Amino acid sequence: MHADNWAQKAKSLGYRSRAVFKLIQILEKIKKLKNPSLILDIGSAPGGWSHYLKDKYPSSEIFAIDLLEMKEIKGVNFFQEDLRNIENIVQINQLKNEFCLVISDLAPNLSGIRSIDEANIYELNLLTLEQAEKFLNDNGIFIVKTFQNSNLKKFRKEMENIFKIVQTAKPAASKKQSKEIYLYGIK
């Protein structure tokens, strides 16, 4: 399916962005997720992933955090906050080590200067990984967007220190020319 078709399909199904199909394709690859009770969506705006997961797992409690505004999604607890301040969100912090799934489609604003962009991506990935480690339960799954660059191997190694299984996914819904890639870890 052509990239623009993904956006049209998302719109026709009532989803907020084409990114929903990336998540669907990654979850199909994992196959291990069975009705997660608690989900943390980091970098959730515009809300496509939270929306899809709430539809797919209506009994799940979903917590979403982003610096950007996100239109309300029924049944999703959204906090407009910097990830660095997640400790300030009592509702999330009281659930350490209890989440079944932590997802992140977060990416920094790109400057166009490769060395700076790669360093920012790596820093954001590490911050997200730190939160996943803190909030996931013993059987938890972590899905994170990163990019093919000089830090990818180093970041993957960091994930391998925490998760039993670490895999790479390049969903068909990702644009072919994009360096975007996803890693997922299973505890």
Active-site residue identified among 145, 154, 175, 176: 145
Residue 152 has pLDDT above 50, yes or no: yes
> Has 145 been annotated as catalytic?
yes
- Kindly report the pTM of this predicted structure: 0.93
Looking at residue 33, its pLDDT comes to 80
Looking at residue 5, its pLDDT comes to 78
Local confidence band at 60 (pLDDT 50, 70, 90 cut-offs)? very high
Local confidence band at 21 (pLDDT 50, 70, 90 cut-offs)? confident
Looking at residue 16, its pLDDT comes to 61
Least confident of 5-14, 34-43, 50-59: 5-14
Average pLDDT score over the chain: 91
Residue 66: closest CA among 103, 100, 93:
103
Residue 7 has pLDDT above 80, yes or no: no
Q: Is 13 exposed, middle or buried (0-12, 13-18, 19+ CB in 10 A)?
A: exposed
Residue 36: closest CA among 93, 105, 128, 99:
99
Residue 1 has pLDDT above 60, yes or no: no
Least confident of 30-39, 48-57, 61-70, 116-125: 30-39
Domain that holds residue 10: 3-186
| Distance from C-alpha of 27 to C-alpha of 23, rounded to nearest angstrom | 6
- Per-residue pLDDT averaged across 69-75, rounded? 95
Looking at residue 3, its pLDDT comes to 47
Residue whose entry in the numeric block shows the structure tokens 């079944």: 100
Total domains in the chain come to 1
Q: How many CB atoms lie within 10 A of CB 18?
A: 21
Share of the chain above pLDDT 70, in %: 92
**The one-letter amino acid at 143:** I
Could you tell me the CATH number of the domain that includes residue 19? 3.40.50.150
- In sequence order, which ranges of the chain are alpha helices (DSSP H)? 3-12, 19-30, 48-56, 90-93, 114-135, 152-160
Beta bridge partners of 79: 65
Looking at residue 118, its pLDDT comes to 95
Local confidence band at 172 (pLDDT 50, 70, 90 cut-offs)? confident
First and final C-alpha spacing in the chain? 33
Local confidence band at 6 (pLDDT 50, 70, 90 cut-offs)? low
